[in-house]
Structure 1
Amino acid sequence: MFKRLCTLLLSLALLCTVGAGAAHAQPGKRVFNAMQIIFSPSLPDLFCTLGAVGGDKYGHKIAITAGHCLDDPKYADHEIHDDIAPVYDRADAGFGPIGYVRYFKDPEGSQTGHVTKDYMVIELVPQVTPSAQGPYLKQTGEVKVPGGTVSPNALTPALDNERLLATGSNEIITSGQTGVWYGTVMDNADGVYRSPAANMRGDSGGPAIWHVPGTDLPSQANNFQASGPWAGITKGITLALPPFLYTSSANILADLRARDTATAGGVFGAGFEVTTNP
């Protein structure tokens, strides 16, 4: 079972990053799925992982990860417009912030239960370049399921990218600390997928793609590379079998659209699309 990485998000971020955010970021740095991220350079072992990188309908560069990576009831489920919660590349904290948290949602029990809205929106800084290519997975847009079961977070009528993969007949491919894994979607409880595709602590928020039928699965022959549309992000581990949970991209995209519709001026991440940059 994962532990939450930070309590009191903003007090911790401010205390731990005084001076650290003064680094002057140089242009051109790639930000990609499966990049490990931290919220303070002084806490490199408390990390999560990026699940998808792209842009929103308002022109912001956006990355998506798990909401339970941070925990502060005062700021959870609210837009954060100020740059008070920086995010760093764990492998290159000296670059300075790659972005700032704009929203996170972490209801109690989100890591082990079927909570549908466990996600975080990060606005990336102008100096970085979003990339669709991670260490193992290349993301090709978003999963779209015409006529499929609708996410519980969706408005009516739902969009195709707000519909869920059917269980028993679809596989997801994931990427994390132990490499790349794949497994069948065995259960779907309100848009939270259960699969034998493995993850571990620190992989929270990391990428899952849909294995498009007829395309190659990762193997030694192809250097464990795979490509497909973004299907979701790593959520956590439970005692049930198979134990690994993933929040569907359908849940995230549907909730972003619903919040955008209800919020004057809109929200960061609304209309999110995975980048086409290599």
Structure 2
Amino acid sequence: MTRTSRLLAGTMAALAAATCLTVSTAAGTAAADPSPAAGHVAYPGMNIDFDNQIDYPGEACTLGALGTDSAGRKIGITAGHCNPWNNDAVPPEGFGPVPINKGAPRGVEVAGNDHPVYDRRLLEVSKSAGIPPNPLSNPSIGQIRWVDPHVCQQGETGPGGLGCLAGYGETSANSRTDYMIIEFDPAVELWSGVYNKNGQPVQAPGGGLFKVNSIYSDASGAPALPPVSSQIVTFGAKSDRTPNPGPFGMANEVAPSEGSVHSYIAPGMIRTRAGSQPGDSGGPVIARGTNKWVAIITATPYQWYQPPQHVVTSAKNILDAINDPNRPGTIGRGFTITNNPNS
């Protein structure tokens, strides 16, 4: 069976899972067998959702990198600012109503199962098949376990009262990271390849399939930052679905999107010409011509004609933060990126 047909088969199998009970697990615990997530896959560039309602204006983002931590848990990394609104007050204009599932608390390891993550592509398939979304036809594939404390809701501040990333990735020079850790159901299979909205493997600029199966590193093997003027490639699920090249291609909001490392707005926070738009946040960024994970998508400009304002958060910053011995909890620590030769 081909990769593409396996992906479609997994999607359709999940649609047939209405006879299964939904089983969620706390961080680090085993799942009951069989799991409703059996047959599901997760992969870089996957469109994810937090409320299981495709027409509900909640947050939808893109998966960046996948792997396992030192405890053997299956881990996904996306943007921290994708965390749904979690205040009791009505969100400000432009943020939609209060989400069905509120966001997870910041800066603490979340052990409960109140912050599910869904495969948004499966919601799209369900809608086209006329199947109303529900926890049985589209069970959660994982749970939010950690949200970067340096991201926040509108009007809040980061640690120590410093500025932070808010909303759709507005940038602050005080921010050095923008990440979320997802723990997948143990039954979910992790893939290395990037797939588009039709379930087809994506070709990367520079040749070969777009994969994310190693980490951009220096000669010693430590995660590193790409040099200014080097070429990087992004993939965002929203740009895959609604590309916006813009006049003369200046917006470059397409998937995949290629561009240079223009500059650094802060250490490890990269300004680039590789485009993105809201909904692409968290998507994978690789060094051109390689499968090496460089960063995840963080922010996009408000106007296409602005200087290169697309911002990505480096894998180095994220991994340094995850492995910081002073960070509460252990989820994600010792992250090893997935290298699945079958995907």
Q: Same fold (TM over 0.5)?
A: yes
Residue 49 of structure 1 corresponds to which residue in structure 2? 62
Q: Distance in 1 between matches of 2:186 and 2:323?
A: 24
Change (3 A) 1:252 1:263: closer
Residue 142 of structure 1 corresponds to which residue in structure 2? 215
Q: CA deviation at 1:130?
A: 0.4
Residue 41 of structure 2 corresponds to which residue in structure 1? 30
Letter in 2 for 1:146: A
4+ aligned runs moved over 6 Å, structure 1? none
Change (3 A) 1:255 1:263: closer
Q: Distance in 2 between matches of 1:78 and 1:263?
A: 9
Given that 1:55 and 1:272 are in contact with CA atoms closer than 8 Å, whether structure 2 keeps it comes out as yes
- Identity level (%): 30
Letter in 2 for 1:242: P
The answer to whether residue 335 in structure 2 is matched with residue 272 in structure 1 is yes
Q: Which runs of 5+ in 2 are unaligned?
A: 1-20, 24-34, 88-103, 124-136, 158-163, 196-201, 203-209, 244-254
The answer to whether residue 311 in structure 2 is matched with residue 245 in structure 1 is yes
Q: CA deviation at 1:140?
A: 2.5
Residue 262 of structure 1 corresponds to which residue in structure 2? 326
Letter in 2 for 1:193: I
Q: Which runs of 5+ in 1 are unaligned?
A: 1-20, 148-158, 216-226
The counterpart of 2:189, out of the listed 110, 114, 129, is 129
Given that 1:164 and 1:248 are in contact with CA atoms closer than 8 Å, whether structure 2 keeps it comes out as yes
Q: TM-score normalized by structure 2?
A: 0.62
Change (3 A) 1:199 1:263: closer
The counterpart of 2:141, out of the listed 87, 98, 104, is 98
Q: CA deviation at 1:26?
A: 4.4
Residue 39 of structure 1 corresponds to which residue in structure 2? 50
Structure with a larger share of its residues in strand: 1
Q: CA deviation at 1:84?
A: 1.2
The answer to whether residue 194 in structure 2 is matched with residue 181 in structure 1 is no
Q: CA deviation at 1:43?
A: 5.0
Aligned residue for 2:332, secondary structure, equals coil
Q: TM-score normalized by structure 1?
A: 0.76
Q: Distance in 1 between matches of 2:307 and 2:194?
A: 28
Given that 2:37 and 2:140 are in contact with CA atoms closer than 8 Å, whether structure 1 keeps it comes out as no
Change (3 A) 1:263 1:47: closer
Aligned residue for 1:95, secondary structure, equals coil
Q: Distance in 2 between matches of 1:66 and 1:190?
A: 17
Backbone CA RMSD of aligned residues:
2.2
Provide Cα deviations, 1:147-169, integer angstroms capped at 9, x if missing partner. Answer: 7xxxxxxxxxxx711x311212x
Residue 80 of structure 2 corresponds to which residue in structure 1? 67
Which stretch has the larger CA shift, 198-207 or 235-244?
235-244
Given that 2:281 and 2:296 are in contact with CA atoms closer than 8 Å, whether structure 1 keeps it comes out as yes
Where do residues 204-223 of structure 1 align in structure 2 (5 Å cutoff)? Answer: 204-211=281-288, 215=289
Aligned residue for 2:293, secondary structure, equals strand
Residue 198 of structure 1 corresponds to which residue in structure 2? 275
Which stretch has the larger CA shift, 106-115 or 45-54?
106-115
- How many residues of Structure 1 are paired with residues of Structure 2 in the alignment? 228
Aligned residue for 1:250, secondary structure, equals helix
Q: CA deviation at 1:262?
A: 2.1
Q: CA deviation at 1:146?
A: 3.5
The counterpart of 2:222, out of the listed 160, 166, 169, is 160
Given that 2:66 and 2:75 are in contact with CA atoms closer than 8 Å, whether structure 1 keeps it comes out as yes
